[in-house]
Amino acid sequence: MRLLVTGGAGFIGSNFVLQQLGERQDVERLVNLDKLTYAGNLANLAPVEKDNRHVFVKGDIGDGDLIAKLFAEHAIDAVVNFAAESHVDRSIDGPEAFVQTNVVGTLRLLQAARAYWGQLPPEKKSAFRFLHVSTDEVYGSLRPQDPAFTEETPFAPNSPYAASKAGSDHLVRAFHHTYGLPVLTTNCSNNYGPLQFPEKLIPLMIQKALEGGALPIYGDGLNVRDWLYVRDHCTAIRLVLDRGQLGETYNVGGLNEQPNLAVVDTLCALLDELRARADGKSYTTLKTFVKDRPGHDRRYAIDCAKITRELGWQPAESFATGLRKTVEWYLGNQPWCANISSGNYRQERLGVLS
């Protein structure tokens, strides 16, 4: 199989690239297109730097001419689209970039894929796939007593990020129903694990704790998320790519609902065990509650019964095992973290700074 992976230098994308090239024998070539914005990091791809199956291309999914060239030059069999602006805080500060990448960029990628797919010989045409990776945030917010999101839950995005991803999901669906493009969509819950850019909760808390800084927690800390270990997510994506029903959406969840405050407390306990503070105090003493961000959804929860029932997928990691692996990875890869921190990113969250 010849894959075009977009956003393959980011967190989930790079984990997918490493998994495919490290564990799958059927990947003949993997073309990795990434714009290398602040969250894209070539260091994530160091293990496959000398793998001749891996072709890295710096570029934008909004560049239709480049996409068309890559399709033709590498005889692509399938697209996995991770490319996205993905941080809610940043979308509140600057929503236009999210619309440009997540909506316009996805549209141009779809247009190029359709043009390429339309001229393929029958056998290649029937085998071609376009898999779009999306988020549970398109579904909106849940109350404590509400059932988890299913694939039938109406979209109700509450942030510019979520709205832009909902728009991209709708475009993917439309290209299937209007043009017959063989698409698949996955909507995942909150990912965590190795290589995550430290603006997200878990890596940010780890780095802040190790530096002895305050651990900023929004509001009362009781916003609930379903936590999915990134390698489990990547396994689900490949399964959907291989066996998913065309035009269908598959929710991918970790079956691990946790309030943010509990996540931070668990992280602190792991750090107390694995890298105790010199003063003997618990990392929990660094917790600081800050002003909540605007439009902060109270709860997300994913019902992933469909992908389990139809494709046999279920997460291999519990929250306890996945979080321990994550903390151990960050402790063992501080040079990677230092390289991130040496750039323009200052480990800030909305509500933390005056």
Known catalytic residues are: 136-137, 161
The answer to whether residues 226 and 255 touch, using CB atoms and an 8 Å cutoff, is yes
d(CA 196, CA 188): 15
* Locus of tokens 């003493």: 285
CB neighbourhood size of 163 (10 A):
21
With contact defined as beta carbons under 8 Å apart, do 244 and 182 qualify? Answer: no
Q: Which two tokens stand for residue 287?
A: 């917790």
d(CA 44, CA 5): 14
**CA 320 to each of CA 131, 189, 259, 270: distance values in angstroms, whole numbers, following the listed order:** 30, 17, 14, 10
Cα–Cα distance between 177 and 193 in angstroms, integer? Answer: 35
Residues 6+ apart with CB under 8 A from 197: 10, 11, 38, 39, 41, 203, 340, 345
Contacts of 240 (CB under 8 A, 6+ apart): 131, 184, 186, 250, 307, 311
Residue 308 CB neighbour total at 10 angstroms: 16
Q: By three-state DSSP, how is residue 175 classified?
A: helix
The β-bridge relationship of strands 224-229 and 257-259 is: antiparallel
| H-state helical runs in 54-150 | 64-74, 88-93, 95-98, 106-118, 122-127
